[in-house]
Each structure stands twice: as C-alpha cells, then as structure tokens.
Structure 1
C-alpha cells in the first residue's frame, strides 16, 4: 500500500533547510504502521541528504566542500544559461542526490539520534521546490 504527498519548500538561496518535521508529520498520519518513506525532489539544481542535525557547522562545512568540488562560474563549464551557478548547481545535485529512503515504524521515522533530512538548495537565488514523499508500507 502506498500513500503519496507533495511538499512545497520555498528557499532563500543556497543553503540547507531541515525538512525532517514535515516528513515525520506525514509518517505519523500514515495508514501503514511500518514501511519506507521515500523522499524525492523534482528538480535538478537542489538535492536531499540525511546528515548531522545537532551542529549547523556540519552543513556549513558541507557547503564549503561543495564550493570546492563544484565552484560557480568555472570557465570549463559550457552550460551557463541561467548564470554562473547553473552548472555548479547541477553538479552539486549529483553530489547530494535527489532522493532518500528512511524506514519508519509505529508512526515514527527510524532516523539515528543525530540525523535529520535536509533539502540542499544549490542555486544562489531563492526557489520554490516540490518534494514528493511516498510512504510504502
């Protein structure tokens, strides 16, 4: 049995947004007692990740690493139709990925103590992002 939902997240530009509570709310109301929450973002210039939720420095450091791995405005990029951050955002999306799966039971996500689910915005300007959450149980 599958239960599917859509979340809209408005970003303020590059950075991470904790979406754990929104996904957890959907799981609490799921008809299935246990299963998998599959979370998918419908865009190619942002991504999803499960990472540290206790210290925001972790997410800032991840952004620093992404800047090194996929810098804005690299002259080797051919794809720059939407600006200097265009190709870098697509590359960063590959690094973070566009989907994650988290098991749930008894109406709760089975994340580890220090884990959270984050949308990583890779564009420098704010965007409206759509996330599909499918609860399989």
Structure 2
C-alpha cells in the first residue's frame, strides 16, 4: 500500500522547525503497521534533518556551526541575486539533505528516543515550504 500527502508551512526565517508531530499525523492516518515514511522537501534553500529534540542548544549550536561553514555575504559567491544569504543557503542545502526515510512500526514513526524531524530553513526571511510525505507498507 502507498499513501501520499502534501503539506506546506511558513517558516519564521532561519532556524530549525520541528515537524515531527505533523509527519506523525500522516503516518497514523495511513494505518501502516510496518513500512517506510519518505519525506521530500521541494526547495533548494532549506533542508530536512533528524536532530536531537530534547535540548534546544543542539539546534542553536548547529546553526552556529553552519554559519561558520557557509557565512552570509562571503565574497567568494557570485550568485547573490536574492541577497547575501542566497548562495550560503544553497550550500547549506547541498551539505545536508532534501529527503529523509524513516521506518514505520506499529503505525508510528520508529524514531529514537531523542530524535525529531526538522525542516531547516537556511534563508534569513520567512518562506513558504512544501513537503511531500509518502508512506509505503502493510
């Protein structure tokens, strides 16, 4: 059996947004006892990640690390059509991922104790982001 859902969210700007509950809702609705949940983000300046969901300092440390790795306004970049955060956002996306696959067991996401699913917005300003959730299994 295959089920597919789409949802959109508007980000507040750069940072990690926990989408675990939203994805879990679709998994529960699909009524799959054993299978896989595939998430795909339809954008090139944001990404998806599994991250520690207990201590918010992990998220701010990840953001600080990424800012050091791909700083805004670096003179190396030629692609600056949408501002100084444009190309660094694309670099961040290439270094992370646009899709995730998570096992489904007993009609629930089979996440570890401290794992959460996050949309990582790399742009400074708010953006509307679209995610496709595909659930396969029996």
Normalising to structure 1: TM-score of the pair? 0.98
Q: Which runs of 4+ in 1 moved over 4 A?
A: none
Partner of 1:51: 51
Q: Tell me the C-alpha RMSD between the 2 structures.
A: 0.7
SS of residue paired to 1:29: helix
Higher mean C-alpha displacement, 59-68 vs 31-40: 31-40
Distance across 2 between alignment mates of 1:120 and 1:17 = 6
1:48-127 mapped onto 2 (5 Å cutoff): 48-127=48-127
> Tell me, which stretches of 5 or more residues in structure 1 are unaligned?
none
Alpha-carbon shift at residue 54 of structure 1 (Å): 0.2
Alpha-carbon shift at residue 31 of structure 1 (Å): 3.7
Deviation digits for residues 91-136 of structure 1 (CA, Å, limit 9, x no counterpart): 1111221011100111111000000000000000000000000001
> Tell me, which stretches of 5 or more residues in structure 2 are unaligned?
none
Alpha-carbon shift at residue 9 of structure 1 (Å): 1.1
